[in-house]
């Protein structure tokens, strides 16, 4: 699973932004330092938002081109936990409200946010739809 972010230089400072995770600009003097700081910031954010702790190899940052980068998640359960919490916070939904939209108990939905349960692809789609989001599946050979 990958999430896209953007980076750019402004007034001699490098900045990065990840809209979906609501990570606002992070600036630095050089590009390498920017991605080190961004990696550290994401690690803190993911670990703060999850009952299960992210490890160093659960995600990587990959520069795609002169303006885009990806966060590549290797742990689907932790990725979905972070995504669900970020979107819910951004959209100002309570866990009870999204659980109601999904026709499930709040405690059942909270297990996804707490990374206690890994959603199936179907459930992942239903949760995103409940938030008013959609996702695209891209298959490609490595």
Integer Cα distance of 82 and 19 in angstroms: 13
Domain positions in the chain: 2-73, 77-131
What are the pLDDT digits (tens) for 9-51? 888 889 999 888 877 666 778 888 899 889 888 888 877 766 6
- Which pLDDT score, from 0 to 100, does residue 51 have? 64
- Placement of tokens 């299960």 in the chain: 52
The pTM of this model reads 0.76
Multiple choice CATH, 77-131, 1.10.390, 1.10.3470, 1.10.260, 2.30.30: 1.10.260
What are the pLDDT digits (tens) for 99-117? 998 899 999 999 998 888 9
What are the pLDDT digits (tens) for 54-84? 777 888 999 999 999 999 988 888 888 888 9
């Amino acid at each position: 699973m990958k999430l896209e972010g953007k980076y750019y230089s402004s007034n001699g400072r490098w900045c990065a932004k990840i809209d979906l995770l609501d990570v606002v600009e992070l600036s630095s003097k050089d590009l390498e330092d920017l991605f080190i700081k961004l990696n550290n910031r994401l690690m803190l954010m993911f670990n703060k938002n999850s009952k299960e702790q992210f490890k160093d190899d659960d995600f990587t940052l990959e520069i795609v081109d002169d303006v885009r980068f990806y966060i590549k998640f290797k742990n689907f359960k932790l990725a979905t936990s972070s995504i669900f919490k970020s979107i819910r916070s951004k959209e100002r939904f309570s866990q009870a409200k999204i659980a109601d939209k999904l026709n499930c108990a709040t405690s059942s939905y909270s297990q996804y946010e707490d990374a206690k349960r890994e959603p199936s692809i179907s459930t992942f789609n239903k949760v995103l739809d409940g938030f008013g989001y959609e996702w695209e599946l891209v298959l490609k050979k490595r």
